[in-house]
Amino acid sequence: MNEKIPLCLKNGKLNTESIHWDSHPFVHAELYKHWGRKKQWMYWAVLSPKGVFATVIANVDYMKIGSIYFAKFNPSHSIEKTKIKLTRKNLLIPHFPYENAYYKHPALNLEYQIQNNKTLLNAQTTINGKPFYAQIEIHRDISFPTLNVVIPWSSTRFQYTSKQLPFPSKGKILYGDETFEFNEKDTFACLDYGSGKWKYKTDWNWCAGYGNDIHSRKIAINLGGLWTDETGQNENGLWIENQFYKIHEEVKFYWEKSNPLNTWNIKTKNSNNLDLTFKPFHIRPDSTNLLILKSNVVQCFGYFYGKIKIEDKDIQLNSLLGWAEEHHALW
């Protein structure tokens, strides 16, 4: 790895030298000053056609959050657990996405461990009186290109994000006397690593997916909107096999708020270079009201179809498995 650029200066302001994107992580994401505005997290999603496991370790300054979510898609059944604490004790979120993280609480234990070109996710808790264990192995080659970008709202409001996918994964979920297995052949993992200083009221769209195009090439996408609009940077990108292509145009998400399970559309704002449809089959509505922290999220899992034109390539997507979401937060 090359020497990392500081994201935040000691006076709490954005280091302007960090404002760009790269296909490999490039910043040291430690934050200084402006208590209450600092937000850091590591979010992993592990997805197969049969189910999803998602886990997050987050520090939003005035509270520290650990969370898991597990859903089987057919028949649809989901469980989740979130714990909050006020101290940094037994919490680690690294300043670089290729380092260990953990969240230790009497009622929820999370560990993300780096071992050579693997990442191990371990979760342990009790839900509805039954023990829950997750053990996931992610094949994560650190030389594989990823999407890394610094979003500059102002000198004191900014965000570094590293979106990393698609990594083949396998593992087990044990819940009571039930066992659910993720098979490496049809399972991929995605990391959302974030560190920055956010406005109290923020909104964002995000989608990610992985599958094949009509020529059977491996394709992955990561697209976002709202939170990056008009900043000069975005988190939009495309993987074709082992090559990464940056999408510099802004995109917009269209969906029916009264019925999120209807088809979504995701398009570039000022061209026809990206035109996707997303057909959901499972929804995870989520709302949080913790006085100073409130959020409303709609996240749907399903399949992407459509076209992407980039450089001299015309990509026709053929059922990419993934998710799309819209999030409104006061935090």
pLDDT tens digits, one per residue of 220-238: 999 999 999 999 999 999 9
Average pLDDT over residues 255-281: 97
The CB-side HSE value for 331 (13 A sphere, CA atoms) comes to 23
* Total residue count of the chain as it appears in this document: 331
CA pair distance 239, 237, nearest whole angstrom:
7
Please determine, for residue 99, whether its predicted confidence score (pLDDT) is greater than 70. Answer: yes
Contacts of 167 (CB under 8 A, 6+ apart): 119, 138, 139, 140, 141, 144, 188, 189, 190, 191
Q: Which residues pair with 132 in a beta bridge?
A: 125, 175
Average pLDDT over residues 83-102: 96
CA pair distance 314, 280, nearest whole angstrom:
24
pLDDT of residue 295: 84
Q: In what order do the strands lie in the sheet with 313-330?
A: 243-246, 237-240, 218-225, 201-213, 313-330, 293-310, 274-290, 264-268, 251-254
pLDDT of residue 1: 52
Preceding omega of 75 cis (within 30 degrees of 0)? yes
The per-residue pLDDT of the chain, averaged, comes to: 96
Angle at 279 between CA 273 and CA 283, to 5 degrees: 125
pLDDT of residue 291: 62
Confidence of residue 212 (pLDDT cuts 50, 70, 90): very high
Q: Which residues pair with 163 in a beta bridge?
A: 147, 192
CA pair distance 132, 291, nearest whole angstrom:
29
Q: Fold for 1-199, please state it.
A: AttH-like fold (2.40.370)
Ramachandran region, residue 38 (left: φ > 0; alpha: ψ -120 to 50; beta: rest) = beta
Average pLDDT over residues 55-68: 96
Average pLDDT over residues 256-285: 96
Preceding omega of 280 cis (within 30 degrees of 0)? no
How far is C-alpha 69 from the geometric centre of its chain's CA atoms?
Answer: 13
pLDDT of residue 258: 94
Share of the chain above pLDDT 70, in %: 98
- The residue ranking higher by pLDDT, 331 or 184, is 184
Please determine, for residue 3, whether its predicted confidence score (pLDDT) is greater than 90. Answer: no
> 186: which 2 tokens?
């049809």
Pick from 208, 269, 266: nearest CA to 237: 208
User: Residues 294, 329: contact at Cβ < 8 Å?
Assistant: yes
User: Residues 305, 270: contact at Cβ < 8 Å?
Assistant: no
Q: Which residue has the tokens 């996240």?
A: 299
pTM, to two decimals: 0.96
Please determine, for residue 210, whether its predicted confidence score (pLDDT) is greater than 70. Answer: yes
pLDDT of residue 9: 98
Contacts of 115 (CB under 8 A, 6+ apart): none
User: Residues 96, 29: contact at Cβ < 8 Å?
Assistant: yes
Which residue type does 75 have?
P
Which letter does DSSP use for residue 86 in this model?
S
Please determine, for residue 294, whether its predicted confidence score (pLDDT) is greater than 90. Answer: no
Ramachandran region, residue 60 (left: φ > 0; alpha: ψ -120 to 50; beta: rest) = alpha
